[in-house]
Chains A and B, each alone.
Chain A
Amino acid sequence: MKIRTARRISQVFFFSLFTFFVVVTDLRYLKGYPVSLFLELDPLVAFATAITTHAIYKGLLWSLLLIIPTILLGRVFCNWICPYGILHHFIGWIFGKGRAADPVRIESNRYRSIYQIKYVILIAMIVAALFGSLQIGLLDPICLFYRSMSTAILPALNLAAPSSVYVRQYFHAGAWAIGFLLFVLVGMNVFIPRFFCRVLCPLGAFLGTLSSAALWRIERDPTKCVDCDLCLKNCEGASDPHTQLRKSECFVCFNCIEDCPEDALSFKFMPPLQHEVTAPAVPARRAFLGVLLGGAFFGFGRSSGDSDRNYSKKVIRPPGSVEEKEFLERCIKCDQCIRVCPTNVLQAAIFAAGIEGIWTPILNMKVGYCELNCTLCGEVCPTGAIQRISIEEKTGVGAFAAQGPVRIGTAFYDHGRCLPWSMETPCVVCEEVCPVSPKAIFSREVTITRRDGTPIKLRQPYVEPSLCIGCGICERECPVTDEAAIRVTAIGETRSRDRRLLLDGGAKSS
């Protein structure tokens, strides 16, 4: 079997596996599948969260499975395993220069200096991580691809074929931006093959750096080489196999070896390094620019106050989420929690959580609500931004009765919009759907005289803050659907001492 065939089999397998995991991340199909596998294998996720949290959370240790072959062989991940890389490879082949004439393809696969940008991006992200702001997820290919699937592609597919993906259609605010970003990044393959992988990918940069030490490398025998440049024809990484190989750019696709008419190229154990450009070619000043960029991002982002005093009432985090600053150290914006959420309440934030919190999960009770007997978001979170709490811990029952339930916010009435409070109309749907027992929403019966003089008995609702967990089903089911008469805001969340509402946290008074 040719290596190329083996690689294609691997690509089809891993792309299908990734898609399969995305599809089964749904309460109906989620049996015991390791759906977070790709995110847990991702060494950049493990490395960057290790910088921010000084720990490797649960399954992130699997990343060693990728780090070790990368150190030995180079960036095999990029062209054999990465589902996003495979997507780019495939799209480039269909719409790009994949089928152009040989000279065009050879020119399109020469190394260009813009390919250093990914290292500058990686440096900026690592510097931001050192300050405690985890931003790798913006461009990490697994996070980016997962997020695009979860918020844009699957809901769009479900629009085309109703109830094929979701029982009830899902909506994600700002999905169009995520969808178009995917479209643009993938579309760039028309102009520069593997544009994302070569120019932007911080994981590629990370693996490229790791592969500086690789023991097996492509070696060119200059005595056999006739300088035909045919090795560039299908070179995925633009790693210059025709001259001094740039190991950190090489995707180990082996196309060059198979394309060489003179057998001048081979994959060798410890070839002499003099023939190569062994380390990523990033001039020191550009690297320092990355340092400045990362520092500035943190400085400007954090001083905007979105994770501190100036926090938004809309930043309602999923149950089990760690405190906000820690959340920004852990969340990789993969939006797998958004995919698994059974009510569609989880949404990718746009600017609500500040620039640092772009595409992190927040709850939007206009769209959904937090299901009481559900902790799926924490179940799938690969980094522990949402901790893997149990139902008992979430609801504060059994052994956890003393600490009480996990609260994510508190509901407040807007009397001016409430039917029984201002419009002489019976309602209290909010009380009906309140899931805690005793209900956090209660009502008092009053008899009022209507404008026409007739009396009417009404139940007017109230919130008991010591019982409210902030699940938001009251807001979701309120008949005043444009802006509900009861709305949950972030205050009262148990994850943060600073954002609690009641002195005793509600534990005693309930």
Chain B
Amino acid sequence: MNNPSEPTPRISRREFLLRAGAAGALIAGSAAGGLAMWQRRHFVPGFQEKQGLHLPSYSLTPDKLLPEMAIAHGAEHEKVIRAAIGALGGMGRFISKGDVVVIKPNVAFDRPPALAATTHPDALRAVARLVLEAGAAKVLVADNPINSPAGCYLKSGLLAVANELHLDLLYPETNSFSPIQMDGEILRHWSFFDAPFKRATKVIGLAPCKDHNLCHASMTMKNWYGLLGGRRNQFHQHIHSIVSDFALMMKPTLVVLDGMNVLMKNGPTGGRLSDVKKMGTVVAGTDMVAVDSYGYTHLLERDIAELTYIHKANDRGLGNMNWKQTRYKEVQA
């Protein structure tokens, strides 16, 4: 305690400079920080300009001789898939050594494989083996299911295949999404399951052939729905435009439509074995519009005239719905 009668000690020059300097630095820092972070303009919430990534094309330059589409029939899943890919010229046509390949199954629902609502584990095993045999460095399997992802991967049997073949099964985690930007009829800026594509060099769509309550059928084109995030439940308001937009959004290396067991009714969820019909067919090709067109008429056995999205995709030049006009090959396994 200082005695008030004693004169207050004078501060040294050094102390004066230090204290004044500290105060001055704080003032300067506050001012600099404030000015640096100063937002001068307002914006209208919800109407900001949006930026997103542009997805590259993963398709190869068309081959002049090899078929664009192959249809294989048979009884055994793996054999039929091998026959279909073989008819296209083998997996070596699509996958080179060192490729990082994304396989996009449809695992939207928490269902056992027999109900044919999800990509069959045997189909994933066959395609993944072919890809690995062709020299791929890495196979990533990714989907953003409607049901809970853990349950979907587990009960569809895909988790077991991924463990067996050491595939990277990616969960749609919080940070796995970034917006994409495109010029679709409806789809322009949307949250996208981007994590697998950061490394991918090739993309294969592997879809089951299913009935769908609203858009009639879920096949290889509709399969890309599972790469989107956000408020997907609004898609149904313009479902045919959206599904045809998927053909614009994703240019895959290859699509495989698994029609070994087809979900003929009560789709896309199914639920009873009686909803499923054995068709023993696999269609593979580079043009998803042609592949789906075959699937609709020959696997779901319906009239293509009603499948609006395929007409839209065809008319927009995103593929050829007259699959018979394409170079195709039909084989028995």
Contact mask B233-259 → A, CB, 8 Å, 1/0?
110111100000000000000000000
Question: What is the distance, in angstroms, from A159's C-beta to the closest C-beta of chain B?
Answer: 9
Contact A167–B150 (Cβ < 8 Å): yes
Contact A373–B110 (Cβ < 8 Å): yes
- Chain A residue at smallest Cβ distance from B111: A373
Interface-facing stretch out of A15-23, A42-50, A245-253, A425-433:
A425-433
A179 within 8 A of B: no
Distance between Cα atoms of A419 and B148 in the complex (Å) = 26
A371 within 8 A of B: yes
B323 within 8 A of A: no
Distance between Cα atoms of A431 and B272 in the complex (Å) = 16
Of the candidates A168, A427, A435, which one forms a contact with B271 in the assembled complex, judged by CB atoms under 8 Å apart? A435
Contact A342–B214 (Cβ < 8 Å): no
Interface-facing stretch out of A83-91, A229-237, A437-445:
A437-445
Contact A163–B237 (Cβ < 8 Å): no
A162 within 8 A of B: yes
Of the candidates A169, A342, A439, A479, which one forms a contact with B174 in the assembled complex, judged by CB atoms under 8 Å apart? A169
Contact A374–B151 (Cβ < 8 Å): yes
Distance between Cα atoms of A343 and B151 in the complex (Å) = 9
Distance between Cα atoms of A413 and B234 in the complex (Å) = 18
A28 within 8 A of B: yes
Contact mask B154-190 → A, CB, 8 Å, 1/0?
1100000000000000011111100000000000000
Distance between Cα atoms of A432 and B271 in the complex (Å) = 12
Contact A429–B236 (Cβ < 8 Å): yes
A342: chain B residues at CB < 8 Å are: 148, 150-151
Of the candidates B214, B231, B266, which one forms a contact with A428 in the assembled complex, judged by CB atoms under 8 Å apart? B214
B297 within 8 A of A: no
A257 within 8 A of B: no
Q: Which of A395-442 contact B (CB under 8 A)?
A: 419, 425-429, 431-439
Contact A372–B214 (Cβ < 8 Å): no
A167: chain B residues at CB < 8 Å are: 148-150, 171-173
Contact A371–B148 (Cβ < 8 Å): yes
Contact A478–B233 (Cβ < 8 Å): yes
Question: What is the distance, in angstroms, from B49's C-beta to the closest C-beta of chain A?
Answer: 25
Contact B236–A373 (Cβ < 8 Å): no
- Chain A residue at smallest Cβ distance from B151: A342
A426-B109 CB under 8 A given contacts A162-B174, A431-B214, A477-B146: no
Contact B213–A343 (Cβ < 8 Å): no
A258 within 8 A of B: no
Contact A168–B269 (Cβ < 8 Å): no
Question: What is the distance, in angstroms, from A417's C-beta to the closest C-beta of chain B?
Answer: 14
Of the candidates A163, A373, A374, A429, which one forms a contact with B171 in the assembled complex, judged by CB atoms under 8 Å apart? A163
A425-B237 CB under 8 A given contacts A342-B148, A432-B214, A437-B266: yes
Q: How large is the interface on B (under 10, 10 to 19, 20 to 34, 35 or more residues)?
A: 35 or more
Question: What is the distance, in angstroms, from A313's C-beta to the closest C-beta of chain B?
Answer: 23
A434: chain B residues at CB < 8 Å are: 269
Distance between Cα atoms of A426 and B241 in the complex (Å) = 12
B90 within 8 A of A: no
Distance between Cα atoms of A479 and B234 in the complex (Å) = 6
Contact B173–A435 (Cβ < 8 Å): no
| Listed residue (A371, A429, A438) with the most chain B CB atoms within 10 angstroms of its CB | A429
A276: chain B residues at CB < 8 Å are: none
B147 within 8 A of A: yes
Contact A439–B236 (Cβ < 8 Å): no
Question: What is the distance, in angstroms, from B138's C-beta to the closest C-beta of chain A?
Answer: 21
Distance between Cα atoms of A374 and B214 in the complex (Å) = 26
A435-B212 CB under 8 A given contacts A163-B171, A479-B233, A479-B234: no
- Chain A residue at smallest Cβ distance from B215: A432
B112 within 8 A of A: yes
B112: chain A residues at CB < 8 Å are: 373
- Chain B residue at smallest Cβ distance from A27: B150
Distance between Cα atoms of A427 and B236 in the complex (Å) = 5
B268 within 8 A of A: yes
B270 within 8 A of A: yes
A464 within 8 A of B: no
| Listed residue (B234, B238, B270) with the most chain A CB atoms within 10 angstroms of its CB | B234
A163: chain B residues at CB < 8 Å are: 171, 173-176
B148: chain A residues at CB < 8 Å are: 27, 167-168, 342-343, 371
Contact mask B282-307 → A, CB, 8 Å, 1/0?
00000000000000000000000000
- Chain A residue at smallest Cβ distance from B112: A373
Contact B270–A437 (Cβ < 8 Å): yes
Interface of B: prevailing SS: loop
B155: chain A residues at CB < 8 Å are: 373
Contact B271–A374 (Cβ < 8 Å): no
Q: Which of B128-150 contact A (CB under 8 A)?
A: 146-150
A459 within 8 A of B: yes
- Chain B residue at smallest Cβ distance from A374: B151
Distance between Cα atoms of A428 and B109 in the complex (Å) = 17
Contact A479–B231 (Cβ < 8 Å): yes
Distance between Cα atoms of A182 and B237 in the complex (Å) = 46
- Chain B residue at smallest Cβ distance from A419: B237
Q: Which of A434-458 contact B (CB under 8 A)?
A: 434-439, 443
A259 within 8 A of B: no
A433: chain B residues at CB < 8 Å are: 146, 269
B122 within 8 A of A: no
A26 within 8 A of B: yes
Distance between Cα atoms of A429 and B213 in the complex (Å) = 9
B271: chain A residues at CB < 8 Å are: 372, 435-437
Contact A432–B175 (Cβ < 8 Å): no
Contact mask B85-116 → A, CB, 8 Å, 1/0?
00000000000000000000000011110000
Distance between Cα atoms of A429 and B149 in the complex (Å) = 19
Q: Which of A362-389 contact B (CB under 8 A)?
A: 371-374
Contact B236–A435 (Cβ < 8 Å): no
Distance between Cα atoms of A343 and B149 in the complex (Å) = 9
Distance between Cα atoms of A363 and B213 in the complex (Å) = 27
Contact A27–B154 (Cβ < 8 Å): yes
A431-B213 CB under 8 A given contacts A342-B148, A371-B110, A371-B148: yes
Distance between Cα atoms of A431 and B213 in the complex (Å) = 7
A168-B236 CB under 8 A given contacts A432-B214, A435-B109, A437-B270: no
Contact A443–B231 (Cβ < 8 Å): no
A371-B174 CB under 8 A given contacts A431-B213, A437-B269: no
- Chain A residue at smallest Cβ distance from B263: A437
Distance between Cα atoms of A229 and B110 in the complex (Å) = 64
Of the candidates B147, B231, B238, B239, which one forms a contact with A371 in the assembled complex, judged by CB atoms under 8 Å apart? B147
- Chain B residue at smallest Cβ distance from A479: B233
Question: What is the distance, in angstroms, from A219's C-beta to the closest C-beta of chain B?
Answer: 55
Distance between Cα atoms of A90 and B213 in the complex (Å) = 58
B176: chain A residues at CB < 8 Å are: 163
6 smallest beta-carbon distances between A and B, as pairs:
A437-B271, A163-B173, A162-B174, A342-B148, A437-B272, A479-B233
Selected A-B contacts with CB under 8 Å, 18 pairs: A162-B173, A163-B174, A163-B175, A167-B150, A373-B110, A373-B111, A419-B237, A425-B237, A427-B237, A428-B213, A431-B213, A431-B214, A437-B270, A437-B271, A438-B266, A439-B213, A459-B214, A479-B234
Interface residues in chain A, defined as those with a beta carbon under 8 Å from any beta carbon in chain B: 26-28, 162-163, 167-169, 342-343, 371-374, 419, 425-429, 431-439, 443, 459, 473, 477-479, 481
Since A163-B171, A373-B112, A437-B270 are in contact, a sample of 10 more A-B pairs with Cβ atoms closer than 8 Å, ordered by chain A residue number, is A26-B150, A162-B174, A168-B174, A426-B238, A428-B213, A437-B269, A437-B271, A437-B275, A478-B233, A479-B233
